[in-house]
Chains A and B, each alone.
Chain A
């Protein structure tokens, strides 16, 4: 019999799917567990005002309502709250679990209402009588930066932290023939996973809390929740049910989660919470929210020389992960380009809006959006094709790690090849011809072609140092195997991918391999899933564990078969150890496991972060009479090194492309000047459906990294990072000949129409 081929790199269908397709996932709100029998239902009364003093809270009417169990305010809680995540930030920016004295955004939790059932929560919520004394709100981050209205008068400023270059180079653009500058809005968007936030809490007789929580890393959530509750982590077990999407916004633990745990303890009853979409849109962290000023300089022949990026990061009302985002933006500022000089600065401010957190890409899409817009602005200024400006300035291919001048060490890349592949797959020259023809014949449907070249950082380490992840594999006497992983899938397909890796080493069929994660009693350590780290570290750990397990099996088999371990090899057709040359002498892994437990736990450590890259081309049609943009095509080259399962990889890319295009064209969390959110429901928020998006055209390119044996880099966020500026650039490109240089995202029909009107009026004025 021929040895079977490796399944790595093949389109293996997901083992997760039969359950999800026939009985549905078991999300937190679906859980049935004895420990949750007769649980109370927790809901939150949220501030309807962006900035106010709370003058009174009256709960009396509530107490007589049917189904009422209890109600609590900040005074009852006595919990420390969520401290800022950077040690350099003033502790007085700490976010309370429930607003104490002052509310700082619409949606901030003010009181907890506990009822027997969830329908009753809707009845009684209205009976809570809270009086507010309004304070002037500040919504615009630039206004916040002027400190005329303070969110934290004690601190005396709305500026949470600043990141400045070591010295400002006044001569940054000295030798440039052309310098272009523009202000760019990278707007606030809602992560909007289809499953909202939820929790279920139960305290055991040992006074230990079990908390079921949709999250992206149980161990991170355990630490965060323990800190919020003032508990030692040993008294807290996190269990992760199926998770209905997260996109960065389900990392750690939120104040509401701490409140649910606290209620369960206070009432000595299990407690559950599952928020409504309206609450989710108001109170789950939002993403992006940067105001950027880009300045780019170079020569008329297309050579770029210098680039400056200034960021004002809106953190929302409390500095959460939002305050960390600009560091990543700054690090990735120069993108794929060879500038002589790059400088960046950032300032983080609080405003009377929902706190900002991570959202797919988290800091990197903002960097790419800025530099890719800047390059297009430069190209327009000198009248050169944007593809040619990019060709002229991309870093050449490299296989040895290379500094980017902003603090990142790019591991490997071939940016020109990615760009050329995307351009040829798009049929770039034909598209330009068609664009010219349409313009010439005065077609009301103009064509726009947008490019983006990108590089991003994935799988970075944390404060603890080099990036690492653990895995445990055990083979059981019945021939099945279990993998424990510190990653935390919520749609990515780790159960399939990790089983493929173990199966490839050990020969155990993937259907016989169970992957478990997200229970801190079972897997005490782990970095979770985020920052596109899982395959390159978690997957690498699984492969390493499988190899180590095969080695142990050979040693044990050597004893049993009385053979020299060097003569033994693993027979992957039978999941057995055999003697080279005499395949009939064999002992299966299952048999070995029957003699003595057969398992390995290992930690894989990478030398550093990896830098996947690619190029996207977007083709849009703009109707000049209505301004309406239609995304016709999106072509992507995403090089994330060696691909383990193209089915899963393509799925990650599709999802990212859609979210990126959606930011460019549709989505924005909008507030009015008083801080009232205007897009807090799915009826108002422009979450795209299938009808607004095209099929995506994916091109393959695989440049391996040497940072892990799989050769893999991260892929989960790539789609979002390249597509956002590609689509935005395409919209602007469609109307560029009219004199339009920039349109902020989302490039809605109205904005495009207005840009056309302004440009046309200006042109007429010049005549």
Chain B
């Protein structure tokens, strides 16, 4: 077992964990933050996307040990004082989610994308979200939501 300390949504979390524990399971089972989902076993779907030091990563492919000493942001930490983050608000307004399973990862990937490129084109959004799969929406409204969020944050 090893000791890790990770700042999750601004809060320090420390625990003794198995060295092989994945960050996504650290978040889900140690921190009890279960918005972040697991949709595959090949780093393909992005349902597990979170921000690690502000950059979006697939938390099924990061060990909790690798996050030791770093900052992790999940969708649970995004809204401020009951106000949806502009990306969350845009997903709602544009109906960018249906079953919601891909949503936490999709929202975090979008936040990461807009941080890197605040004014993306439709094409840049589509390529930027290539690693996040959604079976419900056909991506149409997800792309529109990210465009709208970029507009709103401008």
Which residues from A are CB-within-8-Å of B131?
Answer: 689
B130–A691 touching, CB < 8 Å: yes
B7 CB-CB contact with A under 8 Å = no
B133 near A687 with CB under 8 A, answer yes
Interface pair B91/A491, CB less than 8 Å apart: no
- Cα separation A490 to B135 with both chains bound (whole Å): 12
Q: Which residue of A lies closest to B74 (CB)?
A: A24
Provide the residues of chain A in CB contact with B32, threshold 8 Å: 32
**Is B41 within 8 A of A681, CB to CB?**
yes
Residue of A nearest to B89 (CB): A21
> A22 contacts B76, CB within 8 Å?
yes
- Distance to closest chain B CB from A641 (angstroms): 20
* Given A277-B42, A658-B138: A20 in contact with B129 (beta carbons within 8 A): no
Closest chain-A Cβ to B130's Cβ sits at a distance in Å of 4
B37 with A194: CB separation less than 8 A: yes
A60 within 8 A of B: no
The docked-state distance in angstroms from the alpha carbon of A754 to that of B59 is: 41
A207 adjacent to chain B (CB < 8 Å): no
Binary CB contact string for chain A from 687 to 709 against chain B (1 if under 8 A, 0 otherwise): 10111010110000000000000
Verify if B78 is at the interface (C-beta below 8 Å from A): yes
Report A-chain residues with C-beta under 8 Å of the C-beta of B14: none
Closest to A247 in B: B135
Given contacts A24-B76, A682-B42, A682-B133, contact A14 B92 (CB under 8 A): yes
Known interface pairs A245-B135, A690-B130; A21-B99 also in contact (CB < 8 Å): no
Q: Taking chain B's interface residues, is the majority helix, strand, or loop, or is none over half, making it mixed? A: loop
Q: CB distance A244 to B92 under 8 Å?
A: no
B98 and A23 within 8 A (CB): no
Mark A179-218 against chain B: 1 for CB-CB distance below 8 A, else 0. Answer: 0000000000000111110000000000000000000000
Q: Are B41 and A278 in contact (CB under 8 A)?
A: yes
Across-interface contacts of A428 in B (CB, < 8 A): none
Give the residues in chain A near B134, CB-CB below 8 Å.
194, 690
- A242 to B, closest residue via Cβ: B100
- State A16–B98 Cα separation when bound (angstroms): 9
User: Cα distance A468–B154 when bound, in Å?
Assistant: 50
B98 cross-chain contacts in A, Cβ below 8 A: 245, 491-493, 651, 655
Supposing A17-B97, A689-B133 touch, asked if A658 and B139 sit within 8 A by C-beta, the answer is yes
Contact of A25 among B20, B100, B136 (CB under 8 A): B100
B48 to chain A, nearest CB (A): 11
Decide yes or no: A193 and B92 within 8 Å by CB, A681-B41, A691-B130 being known contacts.
no
B145 to chain A, nearest CB (A): 11
What CA separation (Å) do A657 and B103 show in the bound complex? 20
Interface positions, chain B 38-95, Cβ under 8 Å from A, are: 38-45, 47, 75-76, 78-79, 84, 88, 91-93, 95
Flag whether B122 is at the interface (Cβ < 8 A): yes
Residue contact B101 to A194, C-beta cutoff 8 Å: yes
A24 x B36 contact (CB < 8 A)? yes
Does any Cβ of B come within 8 Å of A276's Cβ?
yes
Smallest distance from the beta carbon of B84 to chain A beta carbons, Å?
7
Query: How far does the alpha carbon of A657 sit from the alpha carbon of B132 in the complex, in Å?
Result: 18
CB pair A245–B44 under 8 Å, yes or no, is: no
Is B150 positioned at the interface, with any CB of A under 8 Å from its CB? Answer: no
**Assembly CA distance A574 to B84 (angstroms):** 30
**Segment 98-136 of B: residues with Cβ below 8 Å from A:** 98-104, 107, 122, 125-127, 129-136
Residues B100 and A277 in contact, CB atoms below 8 Å apart: no
Residues of A within 8 A of B125 (CB): 690
Shortest Cβ distance from residue B58 to the other chain A in the assembled complex, whole angstroms? 12
Question: Which residues of chain B are near A651, meaning CB under 8 Å?
Answer: 95, 98, 136-137, 141
B135 & A192 in contact (Cβ 8 Å cutoff): yes
- Decide: A21 and B92 in contact? CB cutoff 8 A: yes
Q: Which residues of B contact A242 (CB under 8 A)?
A: 99-100
With a CB–CB cut-off of 8 A, which chain B residues contact A29? Answer: 38
Give 29 A-B contacts (CB < 8 Å), ordered by A residue: A18-B92, A20-B103, A23-B76, A24-B75, A25-B101, A26-B34, A27-B37, A196-B39, A242-B100, A245-B99, A245-B101, A245-B135, A277-B39, A491-B99, A648-B95, A651-B136, A651-B141, A654-B137, A655-B135, A656-B138, A658-B137, A659-B135, A659-B138, A689-B132, A690-B134, A691-B126, A693-B126, A695-B143, A719-B138
A24-B76, A24-B100, A690-B130 known; 5 new pairs, CB 8 Å cut-off, are: A18-B84, A25-B99, A25-B100, A242-B99, A659-B138
